[in-house]
Amino acid sequence: MPKARAYGADATLKACREASYGVAPLTGYQSLDFKSTDLSSAQPLGDDPLLGRGRNAQDPYRGLITDEGQLDIPLDLRGTGFWLTGLFGDPVTAPRSAGGSIVFAVNPTAGDTITLNGTVWTFVSGTAGAQETQIQGTVTQTVDQLVSDLNASADPEIAKCTYSRPTSTQTLVIGFDTAGPSGNGFTIAASAASVSSPTLIGGGYSHVWKSGADDIPSYTIEVGHPKLTTPVFFRHLGTVMESLNFEMGQEGPANARLQLVAQGEERFSATVDASPTAYALRRFSQGRGFIRRGGTALAGVTGGSLTFSNNLERVRVIREDGKIEAADPTFASAEGSMSVRFDGATLVAEAANGDPVGLEYGFTFPEGYALRFELPRVFLPKPKYAVSGPGGVEASFDWRAAFDDVEGTMLRVHLLNDITSYA
């Protein structure tokens, strides 16, 4: 039943990449999840009083049109890639195969088993038969024999993977032969050894974005109220993404805030696309978030934030419609903060001597899917801390990132998921 008043619960958000700045595509829109937005156009009134007309106010004039606002979004497994493409440009995408391992602390004994996707493989002391491996004199020799037997097996489940043993280890490494997410469902188990996880992990599509691209795309974004008695859809053409900010915490879902700059807003009574595509929602959780230095998790971190900005220049020229001509990226910047339990050691040396550190902010899922923001060179200020009571003492670091010649970027973002492309 149509509603007399608009409610946020009924609002919709659709977006589509533009082939030309400020020209709305007719099809191909994506329906996207969001928490809130104040993206809207405004045109202020100005005064230029003339003398000789008395003390009462005269007609104002209309100023320049601005169409900007914030968009609060969930950081999720699939939709986040759409927004990252708007922020950085097209990613480099490559398929990745799932993998896992089984570690043998000691040489197996007769009757021990491993189970690969439902197929039981047994260790025996005598001559090995089908789906069996003969125990050798040492654990590494046994694992080598296991590798040879598994790779030669004609069992259809065993044959889905390739097996190896890294030098100087007692580990069976399992690599799913087909790249993509399908290998994440391949189960592994062992009766007397340690498995890396109940299934292989890390299979999917790796998308990598880098900061500093010369060109970033523009979008048409539609915010709609379809359940009103008279439906209203506000279409924002030439929308460019200026910045992204998110907070790291200890619990709850992970969210982010985008700053958007559009050329102008148009109002319609019907949606631009009645059949948009949509991503299946799966949100990242703060409980599986991490902050790492040099690839190792930082101890005692209680919170953090990261902000990346394209620092857009609103290009103003003489136009009869009062809109901007373009929104061009200038210098890219990344900054943030970390709060850590003060221990007199963590990050203090780097902050004191001015040496840059490598930081990673991110979130993971159990099957290896992950979102990672990598900053190879981050500068830390000498922190200010205060002892305000008998409880723990915290130090806060407000850092800034800089370009790294070796990596060729200031910020690199990795997203591993099951989406084949964001181009």
Whole-number pLDDT of residue 39? 96
- Report the DSSP pairing between strands 30-31 and 277-278: parallel
Q: What pairs with residue 256 in β-bridges? A: 73, 246
> pLDDT digits over 98-125, tens only?
999 999 999 999 999 999 999 999 999 9
- Rounded alpha-carbon distances, angstroms, from residue 60 to 40, 43, 230, 420: 22, 12, 31, 53
Split at pLDDT 50, 70, 90, the class of 388 is low
Residues facing residue 94 across a β-bridge = 206
pLDDT value at 191 more than 80? yes
Q: Domain 98-201, CATH 3.30.1490 — does that match? A: no
Q: Is the pLDDT of residue 344 over 80?
A: no
Q: Which residue has the higher pLDDT, 396 or 362?
A: 362
Give the Å distances, CA to CA, from 84 to 78, 89, 390.
11, 7, 43
Question: Which residues, 6+ apart, have CB-to-CB distance to 338 below 8 Å?
Answer: 291, 298, 301, 303, 304, 347, 396, 397, 399
pLDDT recorded at residue 391:
62
Q: Which two tokens stand for residue 152?
A: 């030669």
**Distance (Å, whole) CA 101 – CA 98:** 11
User: Please, are residues 237 and 263 in contact by the beta-carbon 8 Å criterion?
Assistant: yes
- Pick from 208-217, 338-347, 384-393, 409-418: least confident: 384-393
Average pLDDT over residues 195-213: 96
Q: Please answer whether residues 121 and 148 qualify as being in contact, where contact means their C-beta atoms are separated by less than 8 angstroms.
A: no
Average pLDDT value for the chain? 93
DSSP string, 122-140: EEESS---TTEEE--SSHH
Q: What local confidence, expressed as pLDDT, does residue 404 receive?
A: 95
pLDDT tier for residue 198 given thresholds of 50, 70 and 90: very high
Tokens of 296: 């190792």
265 and 41 Cβ atoms separated by less than 8 Å: yes
| CA–centroid distance for 313 within its chain | 26
Q: H-helix or E-strand containing 401?
A: strand 394-401
Predicted confidence (pLDDT) per residue in 240-282, tens digit: 999 999 999 888 999 999 999 999 999 999 999 999 999 999 9
Chain segment 47-89, per-residue pLDDT in tens: 999 999 999 999 999 888 899 999 999 999 999 999 999 999 9
Q: What angle do CA 372, 374, 378 make, to 5 degrees?
A: 145
295-311 mean pLDDT: 90
The answer on pLDDT for 316 being more than 80 is yes
Q: What is the token pair recorded at 411?
A: 């910020």
The residue extents of the domains of the chain are: 8-42+61-95+206-417, 98-201
Q: Is the pLDDT of residue 1 over 80?
A: no
Question: Smallest Cα–Cα separation from 190: which of 99, 130, 101?
Answer: 101
pLDDT at 389 over 70: no
What is the pTM for the complete model shown? 0.91
H or E element at residue 81: helix 79-88
pLDDT for the residue numbered 342: 67
pLDDT in the model for residue 345: 65
pLDDT value at position 85? Answer: 98
